[in-house]
Amino acid sequence: MIKRYIKILLTTLFLVTILLVIIKEFKKSVHEIRGEYTKKQSVNSSINGQKPVYNTPDIELNEIDENKHSWIAIDRKDSYNNELQLYSRDNVTFDEDSIVIISKKEIIDDKIYTSGLVESTEAFKYGYFEFEIEISKGKGLFPAIWLLPISGGPLPEIDIFEMIGSEPNKFYGVVHFEENNMRGRDYFEHMVSEKEQYTVALKWDAEFLTWYIDEQQIYTTTKGVPHEYMYIIINQAVGGNWPGSPDDNTIFPNHFKILSTNINPTFREGRDL
């Protein structure tokens, strides 16, 4: 009798295991089909010059909520391109989905300006990245939203948004890359009307990069498209080779504000910080 019960139990466990494997494979197939459908929809939208609309199947609500708090402010004294600022966590404030970077004229160590820099705590590969922003104008200001690889190298680099304060009506998007041991780049510059807020966005596909400003497609390139995980940097530099040094008309303190974000990656993973 006991042997019979054991045989029945083992048979039941075997059948349950098979059933669980079948269910897992079915869910995986459904997820892949949905992902392919979403990708086709986004490619068609980009080709037609429309802002892509994304579904987010199989994403739990707590994962979406984490997007609101997935930033970290950075302390950094050293800068590049002859920039003049010291980055301090004290120059960054977070309020729900918004980020405010404050640039100040103040002496700390051997720096006469301070500003803020934040990084995403996650890395991404492909997807749609949108930011509602409010900018300040003034010579020497250099706000930017950009991506770097988690490998730690300087390339590839995607600049979703760049602007210099002396030309606040001209927005830039750039991709920097290396091919055949040669550095290259592709970029656009686009004139915008002066207003209080703008929306800037990037669609990063395996085959192309497309930039949007205020929901209008601005530029698409197939050159140097990255295929690796990258993290987002948001900062406002002061001074440097491109924007030049602030002058007497540059008002401090001033702000670079991220009013809201819509980050919808195809793939995401945590970073080692």
- Digit-coded pLDDT (tens) for 138-163: 999 999 999 999 999 999 999 999 99
Domains of the chain: 1-58 (no CATH), 66-270 (2.60.120.200)
Q: How many CB atoms lie within 10 A of CB 223?
A: 13
**Nearest by Cα to 116 from 270, 263, 253:** 253
pLDDT per residue over 3-43, tens digit each?
Answer: 565 556 566 655 655 555 455 554 444 334 344 433 333 33
pLDDT at 273: 83
Q: Average model confidence (pLDDT) for the chain? A: 83
pLDDT at 71: 96
Alpha-carbon distance of 206 to 213, in angstroms, equals: 21
Helix H or strand E segment including 13: helix 2-47
Mean pLDDT of 102-122: 97
Cβ–Cβ < 8 Å for 112, 262: no
Q: What is the 3-state secondary structure (H, E, C) of 206-237?
A: CCCEEEEECCEEEEEECCCCCCCCEEEEEEEE
Of 48-62, 184-198, 218-232, the poorest mean pLDDT is in 48-62
pLDDT per residue over 38-53, tens digit each?
Answer: 333 333 333 333 334 3
